[in-house]
Structure 1
Amino acid sequence: MTGLRYVYAVCRPFTAPLQRQLTGVAGAPPRQLVHHGLIAVFSEVPAEDFAEEPLRAHLEDLDWLTATARAHQGVVDALTVVTTPLPLRLGTVFHDDSGVRTMIEARERVFLRTLGRLEGRVEWGVKVYAEDSPDPGTPAEGEKSAHPASGRDYLRRRSTRARAHETRWQQAEEYAGRLHAALCAHAEDSRLHNPQNAALSGASGRNVLNAAYLVPRSRSEEFVELVDRTKDESGDDVPGMRVELTGPWAAYSFVEEERT
């Protein structure tokens, strides 16, 4: 090989085949490098795009970054079907096989400890959004807008709207808290992430819960059913809640603390 090594993940040896015609970053098929009882899954990529300087420049190119991230995720997703991968950061590149082996040796204890904790487990993501609701006292569609009769009336309306919004968000956060507590009781671990920025995500509504749950693969169907059941039971008295479930993923949220 003459190209650089783009590494997607580290895992234990596995026997199940990856999906046929699977390609990764730069359209290259994933390969395996075995060292010290671990496997690094990588693709050979061209130096003109993935050496330090061109890679740094490419990371500023949103279209290139998006395509590369999708290819990276596609390989990790394929690995998640057949084994428990420990995903590496996007753009983890080494000059040659020796560099990959050195990385494995340097982090071998961490890899083995993390694999022992995550073996047979996957990550599910749950997001809760509170949809915006009309201000109280807003005229119904087709009605003429009513102007306040006085300054006192204007202040009263403004105070009513403020109290209604505060109550609305408090109810939304309580709903999200109930759902999170119910899911935590059926997961081995969980992580609360920062709420998503609506301007960046494009999702409507206010993100009041952005959480990840570590679940044994064998109990994933049960967990999905629990999400569906709990969100309906908990949301009866809080209209306008939207729950999004994603996964199963490699346990990204639960290996971050192991990275150095």
Structure 2
Amino acid sequence: MTECGARPSETNATYVFAVCQTEGNPHADGLTGVAPDEPVRSLRIGPLTAIVQTVREADFTDEVWQRRLTDEAELERYARAHHEVVSAVAARFPTVPLPLATLYNGDERAALALANESARFRTALTRIARHAEWGIKVYAPATRSAADDAPEELTAAAADGAGPAPGAGRAYLERKRNLRSRREQRQTDSLRLADAVDADISRLATESRRLRPHGNGAVDERRVQILNATYLVAADRAAELDLLVDGLRQRTGAHIEVSGPWVPYSFVGGV
């Protein structure tokens, strides 16, 4: 989208994918970007380099972009194009990715605005240099025993006209209390497991971010996600991460999913 406070140009704008730290040319040749008819190129901003592309500003007005947000396929196409450029540059240099659809009214405006943020870029680049982002998701089995259904079975028997046995009411309430207690204990155990896994991986990682776990999906409702986190891990410790996760799987019995390595989008701060 057009930079805040700028009047839309009737011609072109400068789309910025990322800022990287390199003294040479990042060699962006061959990348398609979001405008296939224009080359992806570099723009010097002091000691740093921005990866940019000339685009038609009319294609990125607020109105056009709002319509694009409702078209899942079109939005995915732009997101993939943006990510491909960022990933290609980040594979060679420390790189701070910028948000999708970061636009300025020309190279001069882009260079000035980015130069004003150069201190924040340098801080982020120092933090993520020779690091990658890894996603960790932990699932605990959503166990359900036959005893969990006992109160419902009692209710069904009553509905069929069978009279309750002596003391059935007290037994029903006791089963209800036991069921609630078991559920609370499972929740407590799951929270402890999530905290333990997060603590172990955080000790290996340089930084970490804990996200809200996703709800149960239709693919496998037997699993409950109890940890959804992302970690900034030094490149030379990736093998240690694999060994650590394998050990956690064996020790806890939990299903642990690992994704990555990714460009460290989650650890570049508010740039």
What's the TM-score bracket when you normalise by the shorter of the two chains?
A: 0.7 to 0.9
The number of residues matched between the two structures is 246
TM-score (normalizing by structure 1): 0.81
Aligned match of 1:9:
18
Would you say the 8 A contact 1:125–1:247 is kept in 2? yes
Q: How does 1:109-258 map to 2 (within 5 A)?
A: 109-137=119-147, 147=156, 149=164, 150-198=168-216, 204=221, 205-233=223-251, 235-236=252-253, 241-256=254-269, 258=270
2:72 alignment partner in structure 1: 62
Unmatched runs of 5 consecutive residues or more in structure 1: 140-144
Measured at CA, do residues 162 and 96 of structure 1 come closer, stay the same or move farther in structure 2, by a change above 3 Å? Answer: same
Shift of 1:110: 0.8
Shift of 1:97: 0.9
Give the superposition deviation at 1:215.
1.3
What CA deviation, in whole Å up to 9, does each residue of 1:143-175 have, x standing for no partner?
xx6756544343333322222221112112111
Select the residue among 98, 117, 124 that pairs with 1:88: 98
Distance 1:159 1:18 in 2: 66
CA contact (8 A) 1:136 1:164 kept: no
Residue 109 of structure 1 aligns with an amino acid whose one-letter code is A
RMSD across aligned positions (CA): 2.8
- Does the C-alpha gap of structure 1 residues 70 and 89 become closer, same or farther in structure 2, counting only changes over 3 Å? same
Distance 1:76 1:128, change over 3 A: same
1:102 equivalent to 2:112? Answer yes
Query: What residue ranges of structure 2 are gaps of 5+ in the alignment?
Result: 1-10, 158-163
Partners of 1:232 and 1:95 in 2: CA distance: 55
SS at match of 1:13: coil
Residues in 2 aligned to 1:211 and 1:34: alpha-carbon distance in whole angstroms: 35
User: Structure 2 residue aligned with 1:25, among 10, 34, 38?
Assistant: 34
Q: Deviations over 1:36-67 (max 9, x none)?
A: 02111123333232133312332233332222
SS in 2 for 1:89: coil
**C-alpha deviation, 1:86, in angstroms:** 0.6
Q: Distance in 1 between matches of 2:18 and 2:85?
A: 9
Alpha-carbon distance, 1:245 to partner = 0.9
CA distance in 1, matches of 2:62, 2:108: 18
Name the structure 2 match of 1:142. none
Match of 1:47 in 2: 57
* Contact 1:136 1:160 survives alignment (8 Å): no
